[in-house]
Chain A
Amino acid sequence: MAAGVKIEKLSFSYTTDKQVLKEVSLEINPGEKLGIIGRSGAGKSTLLLHLNGILNGSGHISIDGIKVEKRSLYQVRKKVGLVFQNPDDQLFNPTVEEDVAFGPLNFGLSCEETKKRVRDALRAMNLEGMEKSVSHHLSLGERKRVALATVLAMQPEVIAFDEPFSSLDPEMVVQLIDIIQKLDATLIVVSQSLLPMLACCSRLAVIRDGVIVADGTTREIVTNRELMKSSGMDLSFYRELFRDYF
């Protein structure tokens, strides 16, 4: 199940002197895998926090036709799962099982259904048998997978990832790409790691100083050297290195 996302003229500022998002408009079709790239501080994570109403800027956001506003938060949060950059920000229960069950229980699922969802989510993340493990005793890679399992257990129609590839070793990045590719939901991935995004996303949007400056297929965006350079995503230096070593 996947839902569409529509963002219209979204603006937001944390302080009065600087606008983080400036009239951002995006339309994401159900099942689409969109990557959002840009420099640090460009407004990528802030944009994600608007998707399930944690931040409320001016403008309109709708998920599957439901407008994101105070009275629709319950429905919206059921549909949109956020995977935070730092898994430690996402895991707050004593055991893996309880962390994964937190979302489904909050949305009123029965204990039996929740247990089934926990089992399925942990199996999808190759974390079977770790139900009773203490979350903050796991390795970073495992914590990242648990964080994703906490969202998968809610069976959201839209999953938003904030820097999912940061601090992961290359093998884990490949594993995560594989997991993301198999997800049956609308995906919005925010990252500065361009290479994994090429594997995950069919469409890329470039954000610069709170403004979407480009939006197109992954190939269109990545092959636009001028755009990549001006957005701080130029990989030509690495291309030379790759040519030398591989």
Chain B
Amino acid sequence: MKHSFLDKYSNLDSPVHRLDPRVKTVTALILIIIIVSETRGALFPFLFYIPVVAVLVAVSRIPWSYILKRCLIVAPFILLTALFYPISNMLASDYRPQGQYNHDYMVGLSIFLKAYSALILLILLTSSAKFHNLLLGLRKLKMPKLIGIISALMYRYVFLIHDEILKTNMARDSRTTGKLKMSRLKVFGNQSAMVFIRSFERSQTLYNSMLSRGFNGEFPSMSKLSVKGKELLLPGVLIFLMLVIRLANQNIQNYLFN
């Protein structure tokens, strides 16, 4: 079965791709913290944050269609959170001035923008580096060994489950006349059960094969990570820029409200 989805665009060559995974991870985390810690309901700074994120995506050469598709997966959760804030406030009190309603909507919108900006940065991080390099970087950043192993195995088993889904889909489609009718939901149920049983059995064999080659809980790697001075330039400029926007907005807010 041929599939690749988690780090589909990790083979591209761009300044973002060339960054050391540790630098990339730390930069992404700092940017996310700056964005997420932005004042509640502040929309003005996003006029700067969004272009910065957009430029980063453009520089990475990862297609927007791919990023947006991945964003869609969590869209229901983000939308619900953003919508429920003004709605719950509206239902909680009988009378509120119009200005308060507007503020609630702005808070909802800022939740939406914060979440999506952070999400795009995370997608950018995971898509612009090979998953195992990212894990290697995280291990060097002192991520607990157990979490590293679990993540590596999970990554492998996601492919395995996906593989089994594709195979059982083909087996099902080859014996059906087209789309399955809702009345035949039982088939989906059986198929799902089989996918998990088969995946479990295959994962066991895979694990045996790892044991037979001396697996002892570590995924050794030949890649050696190294950070060059000029590699820090782009992340440094980015963090500086975002911090300036963040602090400038903070000062504007303080000035307006004091």
Q: What is the interface of chain A, defined by CB distance below 8 A to chain B?
A: 49, 52, 54, 74, 77-78, 80-82, 84, 86, 88-90, 92-94, 97-98, 101-103, 105-107, 111, 114-115, 134, 136-137, 150-151, 154
Residues of A within 8 A of B208 (CB): 49, 54, 82, 84, 89
Minimum CB–CB distance from A60 to chain B (whole Å) comes to: 20
> Contact: B222 with A98, CB < 8 Å?
yes
> Contact: B212 with A105, CB < 8 Å?
no
> Contact: A115 with B222, CB < 8 Å?
yes
> How far is it, in angstroms, between the C-alpha of A137 and the C-alpha of B216 when the chains are bound?
27
> Contact: A154 with B213, CB < 8 Å?
yes
> Contact: A137 with B2, CB < 8 Å?
yes
Q: Name A105's contact: one of B1, B2, B221 (CB within 8 Å).
A: B221
> Contact: A54 with B1, CB < 8 Å?
no
Minimum CB–CB distance from A163 to chain B (whole Å) comes to: 13
14 A-B pairs in the complex with CB atoms less than 8 angstroms apart: A54-B208, A88-B202, A89-B205, A89-B209, A90-B206, A92-B156, A94-B132, A98-B132, A98-B221, A105-B221, A106-B215, A136-B1, A136-B2, A137-B2
> Contact: B206 with A92, CB < 8 Å?
yes
Interface residues of B in 215-258 (CB under 8 A from A): 215-216, 218-222, 224
Minimum CB–CB distance from A157 to chain B (whole Å) comes to: 14
> Contact: A101 with B156, CB < 8 Å?
no
Q: What is the interface of chain B, defined by CB distance below 8 A to chain A?
A: 1-4, 7, 130-132, 156, 159, 163, 202, 205-206, 208-216, 218-222, 224
> Contact: B214 with A86, CB < 8 Å?
no
> Contact: B212 with A77, CB < 8 Å?
yes
Residues of B within 8 A of A77 (CB): 211-214
Closest to A103 in B: B213
Minimum CB–CB distance from B206 to chain A (whole Å) comes to: 5
Q: Given A92-B156, A93-B132, A81 and B214 touching (CB < 8 A)? A: no
> Contact: B222 with A114, CB < 8 Å?
yes
Minimum CB–CB distance from A52 to chain B (whole Å) comes to: 5
Minimum CB–CB distance from A55 to chain B (whole Å) comes to: 9
Q: Considering the complex of A and B, which 10 residue pairs feature the smallest CB-CB distances, nearest first? A: A105-B220, A106-B214, A103-B213, A89-B205, A82-B212, A90-B209, A54-B208, A92-B156, A107-B214, A111-B222
> Contact: B210 with A92, CB < 8 Å?
yes
Q: Name B214's contact: one of A74, A92, A136 (CB within 8 Å).
A: A74
Closest to B159 in A: A136
> How far is it, in angstroms, between the C-alpha of A54 and the C-alpha of B205 when the chains are bound?
10
> How far is it, in angstroms, between the C-alpha of A134 and the C-alpha of B130 when the chains are bound?
12
> How far is it, in angstroms, between the C-alpha of A230 and the C-alpha of B167 when the chains are bound?
35
Closest to A81 in B: B212
> How far is it, in angstroms, between the C-alpha of A154 and the C-alpha of B224 when the chains are bound?
21
Closest to A115 in B: B222
Residues of B within 8 A of A52 (CB): 211-212
> How far is it, in angstroms, between the C-alpha of A101 and the C-alpha of B209 when the chains are bound?
14
Closest to A49 in B: B208
Residues of B within 8 A of A84 (CB): 205, 208-209
Residues of B within 8 A of A106 (CB): 213-216, 218, 220
Q: Which of A49, A74, A81, A90: most chain B Cβ within 10 A?
A: A90
Minimum CB–CB distance from B220 to chain A (whole Å) comes to: 3
> How far is it, in angstroms, between the C-alpha of A101 and the C-alpha of B208 when the chains are bound?
17
